[in-house]
Amino acid sequence: MVTIHLVNLRKTFGDVIATDDVNMDLEEGKLTTLLGPSGCGKTTLLRLIAGFYIPDRGRIFFDDRDVTEIPPNKRKTGMCFQNYALWPHMTVFDNISYGLKMKRMNGMKYTPAAIANRVEKVIDLVHMQGLANRTPHQLSGGQQQRVALARALVIEPDVLLLDEPLSNLDAKLRHEMREEIMRIQKELSITTVYVTHDQNEALSISDMVAVMDKGYIQQYASPKEIYARPQTIFVADFIGKCTFIDAEITSLGEYMKARLPDGQVVSGRSPLEGYPFQVGERVRCAVRPEDLQTERTDPTDNEIMGVANEVVYLGSNLEIHFKVGDIDAVSLLPPDAPASKGDKIRLFAPRANVMVLPLGGVDALRKIPGHPLYSQPAAVSSSAA
Amino acid sequence: MAEVSETTESESPGTEMVRQENLFVAVLRSLGNLVIGLFKGIAQRIIRFVKWTWRGVVRLAGFLRSPAKNTRILSDKFISGVHTFRREMDSLSSIQLLAIIIVFGVFLIAPLLKVVVGSFTIQEGEFVILLLLRNPVFLPQWSPADFRVIRPSPSGIVEIWGIEMGVILNSLYVAAIVTCIAVALGTFFAYLIARYEFRGKTILRTVLLFPMLSTPFVGAIGIKWFLGGNGFLNNLASAFFSWFGLTWTRIEFHGLAAIILVQGLSLFSLVYLNAYSSFVSIDPSLEEQAENLGAKGFTLFRTVTLPLAMPGIQAGAILAFILSIEDLGTPIVFSEDLQAQHCLAYQVFINITSESGSISPIGPAIGMILLAFALMGFLAIRKYAALRSYASGSKGGQWNPRTRRLSARATVLLYLLVVSMLFFALIPQMSVILLSFAEYRSSALFPPLTLDNFAILMNSDIQGALTRTLSYAGIATIGIVLLGVSAAYIISRRKIPGRTALDLLVTSPIAIPGTVIAAGYFTLFYNTPFFPRDAPMFLIVMSYLVRKFPFTVRAAYAGLQQTPVVMEEASLNVGAGRNTTFAKIVVPLIGLSVLAGALLSFVYCVSEVSTSLLLGGANYYQAPLTYWINVTRAGLPPIYGIGPAAALGVLMMSMQMVVITVTNRILKTRASAMTGI
């Protein structure tokens, strides 16, 4: 088991910055997800860990071993590729046993019997009994996925790397394989990095989630934290739904007040601890649809007036799209709430649930003392020390 | 608007509509546009190349303006390049790269440079190349006799000659006409095969692979006899006419006109193959979208299909141009006509071989002109000819190309057209085969068949040449495979600086005239251990290796493009080193493609003409089969002569046919992409 330390990583392709300023510790035995839209740099980061790319700057440590310059074949990582990358000219058995045949320990190698034994065990683990002599094209998508997983696991890697392993499967199979991966990961308790663009997959499977956008880690926290306390506007928007309202801060404190362009004042609090808000600063307030209520529960609740322009019945809920002035907003109400298109509606948002977020995305994070991105040069020296 | 208007007929024509033009006019107009478009495209390519060169010059000038600063920038770039290089390369790749650079440096670049330098040496107080430009043979004389194309001869045969405009312009205009013929024939057949389903298509496809086989050299021997004043075709026409009581005027092609005919019929397959792979790799949805918007039939072809296929057609056209200009075999076969000698390739040939002992700088100087044309053509299509263009080119098999089934009546009409065109296209092959079985000097319409000509195969000199050829080609192919797989692997998988240059280097031999390479070998290596006075053996093998290299590199590269990189990464990831990965994953996965490429390289080595003739001249007991075909052709009947030469040609063609068929089986749809440029 190893802990992966990523220190100040940066990787560019020509003029394009694929990923930058990455500082993360991926704890041993935990499953960490890299989540983000396509092109956000998550696969680049995974391939940096695997060793297929060398970073332009920064270091990668497996525990205290610096692996930054070590070639991929010496890193002891097991990677599962998006399209599985099974070798078409080999059987399932040959595909899985390949890594074992390559493995040398102090100049010794595995005996054929040991190899057969280990392959058999891993085939059992991924529930592929009896298919060892098939070739990859005789397997279904799910089976190929299992072989790819087995091939990565059989070498007993320090780190398991999964690059969108489920993206080629249909919904049902995806669900099954997700359970399977979680089972195996818990069983072997192996440090795992999982890349996906599917937020449901990420939230349900992970111990920790790193949300990425435009090459930067937007937030690195537990799934619950990510949803409840998004640190940037991007995270709030990408994970779940949100209504955003631009405003200007009028007073500070644990609960801040901010004025909307039409003169209304909302109060809320920031999920970002330590960010130096200032009076007069432009911010964006975010409210989750399910945090809007039809009844006032506390005198401090914010009151929102709007006109419903679309009502969608979802069975367990009623989703109402409404307009507050020029702003499009969404709320999730109980299914029996009386609302129909064109109605004037009046909703209440508890001030604890109104999230006040600074503009500027990751640049805002740099202003928070103690955050990994805080005033970059200092961060380098502190992490090196 | 005009095309769409027919679907909106019911609406009242407003001021925004104009009357649709007559279909006939439309077809004519767009045919005109096609021809203009073709040449405009080629011209644009050349202009783009000139601009590219000019930008290079400008950048160099910019560099010299502030040398200190720029040197620093350059050295920084160089250092970071060295870093990437060291990270990307391992022991195996480094050895591979080094071997490629040494072989190509010594046996391609150095001889070419020597030719260039040689043409600027000073003789009689002037550059040799300028001396050439004052030679009356090389420049148009504009005398009326030069323009007499139709010349009746005393024997009643009408002779058709080419226009005489001096060696340089002759080569150019011949190549231009050949290109037009090749484009017309090639595009026609390519579209037909790519887009129509009809009975007998498979046969037609196989038959169309045929012209690719024989070099113009072998074909010319047959054509000369077949179309001669007393040849088969004239006899046939004469018999046919006298049946109706008419007299047929016998026609015979001579000089440059004959060269145009032979090359046009031999080189169209280049355009065919490239156009074909362009047509099938057009995304069907692009055409379907156009149909959806109302274009169909000829409009669809003109507005969508043809423009998309144009790059392939242009590349094929330029290649046909280059091969026409460098072709040595045809002028030699027709060299009895003084006019046929007046082309660049032939001039290089005689100016090198006539000098025994010392090498005259005249040959290389002419070669320099040839090289300039060929290189300009190659660089104009460099993006298309480069290996890396295969990334998109190999997509052909991924979708079902749109094909249309023809009605029975249309099939019959088509057959009438195709059969007559195919008859002309296949004249080189047919005539060689016929000639090889025809009795010597028979004037009968259908000459009695005989196997006498094949007695030449019993000749010990010929048998020696055959064994030699096979071993030369075999050794060269082994070298090609070893270096070719390495080159393809490095270009496709190693992100080292200078990859583009390496790509250009290994694909350029396809356009570099063999006569120029041979001229370079003579001037650079003659009387050295590489090339002792009477032992050209080693250099013949090396010239094969370098010249036929692109076929295998292409095949290997195409194989690599179809093998996802993750296959190798997966291997590295589970602990295999780069060399193990290369041996256990890469080689098995691309093995078939490489085999196919190697087979192609092998047959093209066997049928190589220009370096074989030039280098073989140094000692004909080390010369390969093509040299001996020429010796046989020029020799005295009945043992030698054109009949036995044709028999050797048939031997060579059947060998090629077997290999091409096998390659096709192996590669299936990829074959056309492979055998093209």
Pairing of strands A104-105, A108-109: antiparallel
- The reply to whether A97 falls in a domain is yes
Q: Please, what's the b/e burial string for A292-305 (b: 16 or more CB within 10 A of its CB; e: otherwise)? A: bbeeeeeeebbebe
- The arrangement of strands across the sheet holding A302-313 comes to A327-333, A318-324, A302-313, A344-349
Q: How far is CA B451 from CA A107, B458, B642, B650, in A?
A: 68, 12, 14, 12
- Same domain membership, residue A253 and residue A224: no
B229 vs B435 pLDDT, higher one: B435
Residue B467's pLDDT band, with cuts at 50, 70 and 90, is very high
Angle value at C-alpha B446, between B444 and B449, nearest 5 degrees: 105
**What are the chain B neighbours of A102 within 8 Å (beta carbons)?**
574-577, 580
Angle value at C-alpha B443, between B438 and B445, nearest 5 degrees: 75
Residue B108's pLDDT band, with cuts at 50, 70 and 90, is very high
Asked whether B469 and B629 are in contact (CB, 8 A), the reply is no
pLDDT at A240 over 60: yes
- Same domain membership, residue A178 and residue A324: no
With CB atoms and an 8 Å threshold, state whether B575 touches A103: yes
- The reply to whether A32 falls in a domain is yes
With CB atoms and an 8 Å threshold, state whether B572 touches A151: no
Asked whether B279 and B401 are in contact (CB, 8 A), the reply is yes
A378 vs B98 pLDDT, higher one: B98
Residue B359's pLDDT band, with cuts at 50, 70 and 90, is low
Angle value at C-alpha A184, between A182 and A189, nearest 5 degrees: 90
- CA–CA gap between residue B339 and residue B147 (Å, rounded): 12
Least confident of A106-120, A157-171, B438-452: B438-452
Single out the residue in A201, A228, A255 at which a domain terminates.
Answer: A228
A382 vs B503 pLDDT, higher one: B503
Residue A62's pLDDT band, with cuts at 50, 70 and 90, is very high
pLDDT at A119 over 90: yes
**What are the chain B neighbours of A54 within 8 Å (beta carbons)?**
87
How far A109 CA lies from chain B's nearest CA (Å)? Answer: 12
Residue B21's pLDDT band, with cuts at 50, 70 and 90, is low
- The reply to whether A206 falls in a domain is yes
Mean pLDDT confidence for B567-586: 88
- Same domain membership, residue A250 and residue A216: no
How far A124 CA lies from chain B's nearest CA (Å)? Answer: 20
Q: What is the pLDDT at residue B103? A: 94
Mean pLDDT confidence for B186-209: 81
Residue B215's pLDDT band, with cuts at 50, 70 and 90, is low
- CA–CA gap between residue A293 and residue A318 (Å, rounded): 12
pLDDT at A383 over 60: no
A226 vs B388 pLDDT, higher one: A226
Nearby residues of B336 by Cβ (< 8 Å), 6 or more positions away: none
- The reply to whether A18 falls in a domain is yes
The size of chain B, in residues, is 677
Give the DSSP H or E segment for A307: strand A302-313
- The arrangement of strands across the sheet holding A216-221 comes to A77-80, A159-163, A191-196, A31-35, A208-213, A216-221
With CB atoms and an 8 Å threshold, state whether B570 touches A79: yes
- The reply to whether A171 falls in a domain is yes
Mean pLDDT confidence for B316-342: 88
- Same domain membership, residue A206 and residue A324: no
Q: What is the pLDDT at residue B395? A: 38
Q: Which of A72, A82, A87 sits opposite B573 (nearest CB)?
A: A72
Q: Both tokens of residue A257?
A: 């007040």
Q: Both tokens of residue B300?
A: 């669809």
Q: What is the pLDDT at residue B438? A: 83
Nearest Cα to Cα of residue A289 among A243, A238, A335, A230: A243
Q: Which of A54, A72, A83 sits opposite B87 (nearest CB)?
A: A54
With CB atoms and an 8 Å threshold, state whether A52 touches B584: no
Give residue A239's identity as a one-letter amino acid code.
Answer: I
How far B633 CA lies from chain A's nearest CA (Å)? Answer: 50
**CA nearest to B580 within chain A:** A102
**CA nearest to A148 within chain B:** B570
Q: What is the pLDDT at residue B538? A: 92
Q: What is the pLDDT at residue A26? A: 93
- Same domain membership, residue A87 and residue A138: yes
Q: Mutation target for A interface from B574, B580, B584: give the one with most A CBs within 10 A.
A: B574
Give residue A291's identity as a one-letter amino acid code.
Answer: D
Q: Which of A52, A54, A98 sits opposite B574 (nearest CB)?
A: A98
Q: What is the pLDDT at residue B296? A: 67
Q: Is B83 on the interface with A (CB under 8 A)?
A: no
Least confident of A220-229, B36-45, B417-426: B36-45
- CA–CA gap between residue B639 and residue B454 (Å, rounded): 10
Give residue A216's identity as a one-letter amino acid code.
Answer: Y
Q: Which of A81, A102, A152 sits opposite B566 (nearest CB)?
A: A81
- Same domain membership, residue A205 and residue A88: yes
Write the CATH number for A322.
2.40.50.140
Mean pLDDT confidence for B256-282: 85
Give the DSSP H or E segment for B655: helix B642-667
Q: What is the pLDDT at residue B401? A: 56
B242 vs B123 pLDDT, higher one: B242
pLDDT at B549 over 70: yes
Q: Both tokens of residue B512?
A: 């570099």
Least confident of A127-131, A180-184, B33-37: B33-37
**CA nearest to B89 within chain A:** A71
Q: Is B564 on the interface with A (CB under 8 A)?
A: yes
Q: What is the pLDDT at residue B668? A: 59
Residue B358's pLDDT band, with cuts at 50, 70 and 90, is low
Mean pLDDT confidence for B578-607: 86
Give residue A244's identity as a one-letter amino acid code.
Answer: F
Q: Please, what's the b/e burial string for B131-161 (b: 16 or more CB within 10 A of its CB; e: otherwise)? A: bbeeeeebeeeeeeebeeeeeeeeeebebbb
**What are the chain A neighbours of B570 within 8 Å (beta carbons)?**
79, 81, 85-87, 148, 151
Asked whether A121 and A132 are in contact (CB, 8 A), the reply is no
- The reply to whether A118 falls in a domain is yes
Which of A32-46, B271-285, B647-661 is most confident? A32-46
Kindly report the backbone phi and psi dihedral angles of residue A241, in degrees, each rounded to the nearest multiple of 5, phi listed first.
-105, 160
- CA–CA gap between residue A59 and residue A64 (Å, rounded): 11
* Cα first-last separation, chain A: 24
pLDDT digits (tens, 9 = 90+) for A3-23: 999 999 999 988 889 999 999
Nearest Cα to Cα of residue A118 among A100, A138, A145, A94: A100
- Same domain membership, residue A168 and residue A261: no
Structural domains in chain B plus CATH codes: 131-436 (1.10.3720.10)
With CB atoms and an 8 Å threshold, state whether B570 touches A87: yes
Nearest Cα to Cα of residue B378 among B31, B21, B46: B46
State the CB neighbour count (10 A cutoff) for residue B69: 10
Angle value at C-alpha B450, between B447 and B454, nearest 5 degrees: 130
- The reply to whether A382 falls in a domain is no
Write the CATH number for A160.
3.40.50.300
Q: Is A85 on the interface with B (CB under 8 A)?
A: yes
With CB atoms and an 8 Å threshold, state whether B567 touches A85: yes
Least confident of A145-154, B262-271, B655-664: B655-664
- The reply to whether A385 falls in a domain is no
Task: For A218-282, give the DSSP string.
Answer: EEEE-HHHHHHS-SSHHHHHHSS--EEEEEEEEE-SSSEEEE-TTS-EEEEB-SSTT----TT-E
Mean pLDDT confidence for B167-189: 90
Q: Both tokens of residue B488?
A: 């393809």
Angle value at C-alpha B389, between A167 and B560, nearest 5 degrees: 55
Query: What is the residue range of A122's domain?
Result: 4-228
B242 vs B441 pLDDT, higher one: B242
Q: Is A350 on the interface with B (CB under 8 A)?
A: no
Please give the torsion angle defined by the CA atoms of residues A81, A87, A90 and A95, in that order, rounded to the nearest 10 degrees: -20
| Strand-pair partners of A80 | A162
Mean pLDDT confidence for A74-82: 88
**What are the chain B neighbours of A76 within 8 Å (beta carbons)?**
575
Residue A92's pLDDT band, with cuts at 50, 70 and 90, is very high
- Same domain membership, residue A204 and residue A266: no
Please give the torsion angle defined by the CA atoms of residues A306, A308, A313 and A314, in that order, rounded to the nearest 10 degrees: -40
- Read off the DSSP letter of residue B327: -
- CA–CA gap between residue A247 and residue A258 (Å, rounded): 6
B190 vs B5 pLDDT, higher one: B190
- CA–CA gap between residue A111 and residue A108 (Å, rounded): 9
Mean pLDDT confidence for B231-259: 84
- Same domain membership, residue A287 and residue A257: yes
Single out the residue in A196, A228, A260 at which a domain terminates.
Answer: A228
Cα dihedral sign, B578-B580-B582-B585 = negative
With CB atoms and an 8 Å threshold, state whether A151 touches B574: yes
pLDDT digits (tens, 9 = 90+) for B629-650: 888 888 877 778 888 888 888 8
B241 vs B132 pLDDT, higher one: B241
With CB atoms and an 8 Å threshold, state whether B570 touches A151: yes
**What are the chain B neighbours of A52 within 8 Å (beta carbons)?**
569, 572
pLDDT at B152 over 70: yes
- CA–CA gap between residue B481 and residue B486 (Å, rounded): 8
Per-residue H/E/C for B105-159? HHHHHHHHHHHHHHHCCEECCEEHHHHHHCCHHHCCCCCHHHHCCEEECCCCCEE
Residue B564's pLDDT band, with cuts at 50, 70 and 90, is confident
Q: What ipTM describes this predicted complex?
A: 0.73
Give residue B360's identity as a one-letter amino acid code.
Answer: S
Residue B543's pLDDT band, with cuts at 50, 70 and 90, is very high
Nearby residues of B328 by Cβ (< 8 Å), 6 or more positions away: B217, B345, B346, B348, B349, B514, B515, B609, B610, B613
Q: How far is CA B494 from CA A86, B94, B454, B487, B551, in A?
A: 22, 11, 51, 10, 21
- Same domain membership, residue A128 and residue A8: yes
Least confident of B200-204, B219-223, B562-566: B200-204
Long-range contacts of B118-121 (CB under 8 A, 24+ apart): B118/B361, B118/B364, B118/B365, B118/B368, B118/B523, B119/B361, B119/B364, B119/B365, B119/B367, B119/B368, B119/B369, B121/B361
Tally the domains of chain A.
2
Residue B2's pLDDT band, with cuts at 50, 70 and 90, is very low
pLDDT digits (tens, 9 = 90+) for B385-415: 666 554 433 333 344 556 777 777 778 888 8
- Same domain membership, residue A53 and residue A31: yes
pLDDT at B280 over 60: yes
Does the bond joining A350 to the residue before it have cis omega, within 30 degrees of 0?
Answer: no
pLDDT digits (tens, 9 = 90+) for A296-327: 888 888 888 888 888 888 888 888 898 887 88
- The arrangement of strands across the sheet holding A16-26 comes to A16-26, A4-13, A57-62, A65-66
If 0-12 CB within 10 Å is exposed, 13-18 middle and 19+ buried, where does residue B439 land?
Answer: middle
pLDDT at B480 over 90: yes
B395 vs A98 pLDDT, higher one: A98
- Same domain membership, residue A213 and residue A359: no
Nearest Cα to Cα of residue A66 among A111, A130, A135, A5: A5
